[in-house]
Amino acid sequence: MNVSVRSGMELKRFDESFSNLTKMFKKGFYKKPTKIEIDVFSKIIDFQLQALIITSRLEEDITEEMAHTQYIFKCHKENIKPSNSEFKKSIIILFKLMLDLSDFYIYTRMFLDALTVGIRLSFINAGNKNACIMEHSVKCLLNEKNMKTYKEKIGQNFFDNLEKHLSWIRNLRESRNGLVHYYHHFVFTTTRQDKLGYDIMDREKDEWGIDTVKGVSNEIQTVINSLTDLMEYLHTNLPKKPKNDQRN
C-alpha cells in the first residue's frame, strides 16, 4: 500500500509482512469469500492504514509534548510565569497523547481479534472441521484451557508456536487497562534516556519510580515488531491449500 502518511518509527518490515499475509488470504482462502470472510478481511486490511496514521500522530504528540515541557521548565528556571493559555495548551497536548495512545491499543486489539478469526477460517477452509470450535477473540485464544483444546483438536505444533508469538499481548493489555481504567493515575514523564515515557502511579502513595517508566515510542515500536513477528509466523505456517468446496 502506498500512502502519504509515514511515521518515523521503523515500519518497513511491518509493511512487508502485512502485505504478504493479506495477499495470501486474498489469493487463497478468500478467493470466493463468504460474508464473514469479507468482513474479517476488511478489518485486517484497515489496520495497516490505522497503524500508520496513529503512530504518526503519536510521534507528533510526543514531539509537541517534549518541546512544550522544555518551554515550561525554561520559564520556571528564569522565574517567568507561563500564561494561562500555555497551561491550557499543556492539558490539550496530554489529552491528545492519551487519546492517540488509547486509539493505538483499541485498534491493535481489534486487529488481533480479526486475525484470530482469520486463523479459524484458514483452518476451516483448508478442511479442518475441528477449527469450528475456535472462539472469535484473541482473549479466548490466550485462555490456557482454550489453547490446550486447540492444540489437541486442531494442530499441536501450530498452536504451540503460536502461543509463543502471543505472550507479549498480556503486557499490551496491562498498559491499555492502566490507561483506560486508571487514567487519573497515568503519568507522562521522562525516561533515563530523556525521552517521553509513561507510568501508572501507586494509587495509595501517589508516586512512581524512574525504574518503571516506559518510553512511549519504544513501547509502540515493540508492539509493531511483535505484530510483525506474529504476521510472519501466520504467513509461513497457516495451512495454504484451500478447499473451495469446503464450507462449514
The helix or strand, by DSSP H or E, that contains position 186, with its residue range, turns out to be strand 186-190
Mean pLDDT of the 46-62 span:
92
Sign, Cα dihedral of 16, 236, 26, 248: negative
pLDDT at residue 178 tops 80: no
The answer to whether 22 touches 44, Cβ cutoff 8 Å, is: yes
Torsion of CA 181, 48, 198, 230, to 10 degrees: 90
SS3 126: coil
pLDDT value of residue 174: 77
CA nearest neighbour of 123 among 86, 84, 162, 87: 162
Whether 22 maps to a domain, the answer reads: no
pLDDT band (50, 70, 90) for residue 112: very high
Mean pLDDT of the 57-74 span:
83
Number of domains forming the structure of the chain = 1
Whether 241 maps to a domain, the answer reads: no
Whether 181 maps to a domain, the answer reads: yes
pLDDT band (50, 70, 90) for residue 31: low
Range of the domain at 166: 34-235
CA nearest neighbour of 131 among 109, 102, 159, 100: 159
| % of the chain residues with pLDDT over 70 | 81
pLDDT value of residue 148: 96
Predicted structure pTM score: 0.83
Count of other CB atoms within 10 angstroms of residue 86: 13
Whether 75 maps to a domain, the answer reads: yes
pLDDT value of residue 169: 92
> Lowest-pLDDT range, 95-99, 173-177, 181-185, 242-246?
242-246
Whether 8 maps to a domain, the answer reads: no
Whether 153 maps to a domain, the answer reads: yes
Whether 3 maps to a domain, the answer reads: no
pLDDT at residue 25 tops 70: yes
Q: Please state the separation of Cα 29 from the chain's center in Å.
A: 25
Higher-scoring residue by pLDDT: 87, 233:
233
Whether 4 maps to a domain, the answer reads: no
The answer to whether 159 touches 151, Cβ cutoff 8 Å, is: yes
pLDDT tens profile 187-237: 767 777 777 776 766 544 455 555 567 778 888 999 999 999 999 999 999
